[in-house]
Structure 1
């Protein structure tokens, strides 16, 4: 595993990580399909839900590659990238079609990215790597029709956000130690014998702030670039009136403000 003392100069975003960032941002660009018909309040809410879903998947894989460093499994990153592509393809048919496909792939990618950590490894800077309860509403939503399906998605994302902002490193380590002790107590009674697998030795893993900051910055820059492309595409098909020009200029200034 990568060590926290590595500096940004020693660790830069790899080509694989940049490729993954581009695919994630392309998924966010695909969400504009939801806004072509209005948007209504419901469509805007669905846009926010799907945006957060793409961001959580991106962040899970980003933190994994950040902490694992050179030991990160390329096959896992590319597998999650393929999952993102399937989620992107499912966006075009929503809310009527493909919602179950989107939810199922989301759950698979979340489980795959969380199971990548070895026994006893606790990523204290990303608690949802260990606490995956936010995926349960997504799983249940596979058997629930809309609009209840999307309500469950929102509940799952709300749980993840609550875990991210309220669970600290000390609590994570205490919970991990409690689970280890619980497994030891559940062993069959009888004469002592050596265990087939020794209990895991807990390791506290931290993200590298420099590298993670670089990834977040690159992600934001690509998102802003996608925003510029979307504004240009929208303005180019309209009649160039004063209101359209004002909206175009204001959208560009809004993107500049986000960059600032």
Structure 2
């Protein structure tokens, strides 16, 4: 008897990997802007731009996940161009909020918003043409365009609030919509009505041609694309989310290397750099080896509508930690500036809070909360508030120490299983 062939697990295509190159450039631009941010408003501006780029990458990757071999190459390449435009405009977005800009960069906020909206529309229409209803992350097929457009015509002090509202609506709609069968039903009905309208238009067109004397055999008609609820390819989705984490970790490593390139290698610089490298290793182990989510190994797998926002929290935390290390290494023997200390430990706190969300969703055991998560989180916040007296190298060692303790839970679980 011949052996039955099992279907091969799908991996990222060359097109998707090529598409990821624009995210590398975008992550570098956002990290550079965040490094120069001085106020909460400037940090919020960087966070909003990061979300916009992340959401375009996410919606396009989700579209490719459900489309598979039917993925429209032109759509992906056009989105790639759009992300490149967004990345190039980052230095000039809101010059009033971001320091060190020039007058010739004015007007790039409009280009950023337009490129963002165009990219989201491309992903939405591509999925609709294939008759796919992406119920597990509805933002792929919709975008709250009104706040983004309105932000172009109001003062910047109001504009970033509109961006914030749009982001909250975008994430909230997707998470609530994915959980609610009624919302999925509404999405399906909307696409079904669109399909029925297309069928009626085609029937009227055929009737007119027949009236002109053409026989039905001579007519060339477009096949009807029937509506279906898209099924997520979980292995491929996890791989794509993990690759994005590798991208931001690579940018963090690049910042660490750049910080060392122009500094004398004193003991504090060497110690801080080594600690920073160990932090990146810990983040890689926790976030990629354990399923790109920092939840403990004993939790149940996260649903897509849970894992995607967790991915946003993890990657944003890594970007913030990288910005903190970019300032810490040159000042390894000195007291770190307050905002850089908050980048470092605020990013770590965001990472731990994302782990809390993932742990709640995956029903982590109580001992993990009490023995690992809560102590690490409280210690992180305490150093962020009261750690101004510590030199930079000591802060770097503390970040690594907190992550090292946090990761011992998974090591303990592995030993118990073996």
List aligned pairs for 1:12-27, cutoff 5 A: 12-27=11-26
Correspondence for 1:191: none
Question: What CA distance in whole angstroms lies between the structure 1 residues aligned with 2:157 and 2:243?
Answer: 35
Question: What CA distance in whole angstroms lies between the structure 2 residues aligned with 1:79 and 1:89?
Answer: 15
Q: Is the 8 A contact 2:137 2:175 kept in 1?
A: no
Cα deviations by residue, 1:137-157 (Å, 9 ceiling, x for unpaired)? 112212122122222111111
Q: Is the 8 A contact 2:192 2:227 kept in 1?
A: no
TM-superposed CA distance for 1:173, in Å, is 3.3
- Out of 240-249 and 216-225, give the one that drifted further: 240-249
Correspondence for 1:207: 232
List aligned pairs for 1:212-251, cutoff 5 A: 212-241=237-266, 243-251=268-276
Q: Does residue 125 of structure 1 match 2:145? A: no
TM-superposed CA distance for 1:244, in Å, is 4.2
Secondary structure in structure 1 of the residue aligned to 2:229 = strand
Question: What CA distance in whole angstroms lies between the structure 2 residues aligned with 1:41 and 1:239?
Answer: 32
List aligned pairs for 1:94-109, cutoff 5 A: 94-96=93-95, 97=106, 98-109=108-119
Correspondence for 2:388: none
Secondary structure in structure 1 of the residue aligned to 2:136 = coil
Q: Per residue, is there more helix in 1 or in 2?
A: 2
Q: Does residue 257 of structure 1 match 2:282? A: yes
Q: Is the 8 A contact 2:93 2:112 kept in 1?
A: no
Question: What CA distance in whole angstroms lies between the structure 2 residues aligned with 1:75 and 1:150?
Answer: 32
TM-superposed CA distance for 1:245, in Å, is 4.2
Correspondence for 1:3: none
Question: What CA distance in whole angstroms lies between the structure 2 residues aligned with 1:39 and 1:247?
Answer: 23
Cα deviations by residue, 1:67-100 (Å, 9 ceiling, x for unpaired)? 1111111111000000011101101223213112
Structure (1 or 2) with the larger CA radius of gyration: 2
Correspondence for 1:77: 76
Q: Is the 8 A contact 2:133 2:188 kept in 1?
A: no
Question: What CA distance in whole angstroms lies between the structure 1 residues aligned with 2:191 and 2:58?
Answer: 27
Correspondence for 1:35: 34
Cα deviations by residue, 1:25-71 (Å, 9 ceiling, x for unpaired)? 32011113313435332222222111111110000100111111111
Q: Is the 8 A contact 1:124 1:204 kept in 2?
A: yes
Question: What CA distance in whole angstroms lies between the structure 1 residues aligned with 2:37 and 2:270?
Answer: 19
Structure 1, unpaired ranges of 5+: 1-5, 188-193
TM-superposed CA distance for 1:217, in Å, is 1.3
1:146 to 1:13, Cα distance in 2 relative to 1, 3 A: same
Q: Is the 8 A contact 1:67 1:205 kept in 2?
A: yes
Question: What CA distance in whole angstroms lies between the structure 2 residues aligned with 1:173 and 1:207?
Answer: 15
Structure 2, unpaired ranges of 5+: 1-5, 96-105, 204-223, 286-418
Cα deviations by residue, 1:102-146 (Å, 9 ceiling, x for unpaired)? 1111011111111112275311122112342x2321122121221
Question: What CA distance in whole angstroms lies between the structure 1 residues aligned with 2:233 and 2:192?
Answer: 30
- Out of 214-223 and 76-85, give the one that drifted further: 214-223
List aligned pairs for 1:40-79, cutoff 5 A: 40-79=39-78
List aligned pairs for 1:74-223, cutoff 5 A: 74-96=73-95, 97=106, 98-117=108-127, 118=129, 120-132=131-143, 134-168=144-178, 170-179=181-190, 195-197=200-202, 201-223=226-248
Q: Is the 8 A contact 2:249 2:280 kept in 1?
A: yes
Q: TM-score, normalised by structure 2?
A: 0.53
Secondary structure in structure 2 of the residue aligned to 1:92 = helix
Higher RCO (C-alpha 8 Å, min separation 6): 1
Q: TM-score, normalised by structure 1?
A: 0.83
TM-superposed CA distance for 1:183, in Å, is 7.7
Question: What CA distance in whole angstroms lies between the structure 2 residues aligned with 1:247 and 1:152?
Answer: 39
